[in-house]
Amino acid sequence: MKKHLLSVLCLILGIAIGVCGCLIVLVAGESSGRGQLPVESPNLPREAGLQDSELTALAYTVAGLIREGDYRTLAAYIHPVYGLVFAPNSTINLTSNQCFTPNRVAYTAEDSTIYVWGTKYGTDEPIQLTTAQYFYGYVYNRDYVRAPLVGVNHIVKSGNALENVTTVFPEGKFVDFCFPGGADGSGWSTLRMVFEPYKGEMKLSALIHSEYTE
């Protein structure tokens, strides 16, 4: 009888130790994983055309560099010929939107120049910010690496603004990171990255911001 009780106690103790070990691993993964980006989010909608896993992984890498403010490394991903277009809303205007060379993006942290990035949607109010301020307010205004919805060549959420990404970049592919907002349709925002081919690689050509406006 004592041997039987001892065996049961040992079994219970073993299970308890195993559960504790799993919890420790999970906690450690959460604390150290913020700087290591997932190749794919577990919540990606399969109907959005996510067969292009390499492009998705590339977009997550770029999002991580922007999140960390590593603009020098980011510059290596930008199209060396066309540069990088910054669109503050989903209607791209190559006349009024800024377009930076990779070298200018690399020195974002040191650049204190105030640029006009276009106008706020629905008004004529100019968007006047430094490059770093623009990245904070109109590129990575939310933690898009954790966006619950992602589409490849698929606009997940759209508002009243004209969507012309495929017209302006006919040879490009894009990845749409989206926070869908509330049940009433308000509060959504997206970060759209456009990539174009260059010598067998896909290079970043545009960062497009879009969000809910009343």
pLDDT digits (tens, 9 = 90+) for 33-83: 212 333 333 344 433 443 488 999 999 999 999 999 999 999 999 999 999
Q: Where are the alpha helices (DSSP H) in the chain?
A: 2-32, 53-68, 71-75, 102-106, 131-134, 165-168
Instruction: For residue 128, give both structure tokens.
Output: 């006047």
CA dist., res. 201 & res. 185, Å (int): 37
* C-beta of residue 179 within 8 angstroms of C-beta of residue 148: yes
CA dist., res. 74 & res. 76, Å (int): 5
**For the chain, which domains are there?**
43-211 (3.10.450)
pTM for the full predicted model: 0.76
Instruction: Tell me: pLDDT of 11 over 50.
Output: no
Question: How sure is the predictor about 182, in pLDDT bands with cuts at 50, 70 and 90?
Answer: confident
Residue among 183, 191, 117, 99 nearest 150 (CA): 191
Stronger pLDDT, 154 or 32, i.e. the higher one: 154
Question: How sure is the predictor about 155, in pLDDT bands with cuts at 50, 70 and 90?
Answer: very high
Residue 33, pLDDT score: 27
* C-beta of residue 185 within 8 angstroms of C-beta of residue 194: no
Residue 63, pLDDT score: 98
